[in-house]
Chain A
Amino acid sequence: MNPGHDDDLDALLRQSFDGPTADGGFSESVMRRLPPRRRRPSLWPLAAGILVGTVLCALSLSGSSLWNAAWRGWRVGDGSGATLIVLSTMAAMSLLALAWTLAEADDH
């Protein structure tokens, strides 16, 4: 065998590999540690929650003078203090939701 040739080198490498390991109780040990699989939650409660939350949020803010001022400013393209406060709050809430989602995905 001449390890200077590609085919011979490949054959030599394959021969130096021990091949598959015998089970020796490994599979049973894995199966004993297997947790019950978590079912993927259905999406409709999440969608319904988002919808209900949005409606409640809109109802509770509809009487707020800050919200109304921000909305008026937004419509006329005026970056008033109220508009900035509301936009900053929305951005902060979105970032918190994103961080929470990423943390949950990491845990899974």
Chain B
Amino acid sequence: MADSAEQARIDQSLVARALRGDDRGAFEQLVRRHQGMVRAQLRRLLHGDVAAADDLAQETFLLAWRKLDQFRSDARFSTWLHRIAYSCFLQASRTSSWAARHAQDDAMEQLPAPAQAMDLHLDLARAMRHLSAAEQAVLLHCVQLGLSHEEAAYVLAMPLGTVKTHATRGKAKLKTWLAAWHGAAGEERIP
């Protein structure tokens, strides 16, 4: 927690430097500090389309540079970036051919699953893709990116109650679909 507060303080100081003297060096440090998580977020949202994710990540940081004076320190800088990235993703999925390609991928995912579950991770990945887009987005931000429910609500522009509902429903669905693994508890050890 203290570490997180310290990171937020460093970000704020870099933002102030970037704004005060048009300091590109300070902004470069911000990019280096946060590009990893922003690109990981977009890769997940784009189901592993690395090139498209990196294009959107570039767009995210260029937008952040232009709108830096609109950053308010009531949110963490990383959360603010995730919000811009998610907006870029939504805009791109409305306008680009990526959405059509993704729909085709989804159609392939609807093919019957092998009767014998081979691997818990594969089953989890398959189960995740059968969640609604909102449930996937909420679980990605709340569990995998480690944001609080409040931060996820800010990033996804959803009411807090909706975020909590999607998280609960998403997890309940995953538990149901992965129920076959209950019996294997204790056998599966993930390093």
Chain A residues with a Cβ under 8 A of chain B:
1-4, 6, 9-10, 12-23, 26-27, 29-31, 33-37, 40, 108
Contact = CB atoms under 8 A, between A and B. Distances in A.
Interface string B121-133: 1001100000000
A92 B178 CA distance: 62
Nearest to B54: A26
27 contacts: A1-B120, A1-B188, A2-B182, A3-B120, A3-B178, A3-B182, A4-B185, A9-B174, A12-B124, A13-B124, A14-B143, A15-B121, A16-B144, A17-B44, A17-B145, A18-B40, A20-B39, A21-B35, A21-B36, A22-B36, A26-B35, A31-B28, A34-B24, A34-B62, A35-B65, A35-B66, A108-B66
B154 interface: no
A10 B143 contact: yes
A104 to B, nearest CB: 14
A27 B22 contact: no
Among A6, A21, A35, the one with the most B-chain Cβ atoms within 10 Å of its Cβ is A21
Contacts of B37: 20
Contacts of B171: 6, 9
B66 A37 contact: yes
A26 to B, nearest CB: 5
B158 to A, nearest CB: 19
A13 B143 contact: yes
B179 interface: yes
Contact of B181 (A3, A23, A34): A3
A4 B178 CA distance: 7
Nearest to B185: A2
Contact of B190 (A15, A17, A31, A34): A15
Nearest to A37: B22
B175 A14 contact: no
Contact of B185 (A1, A17, A33, A36): A1
Contacts of A35: 62, 65-66
A2 B18 CA distance: 47
Contact of A2 (B28, B32, B54, B181): B181
A75 B120 CA distance: 80
Contacts of A30: 31, 35, 58, 61-62
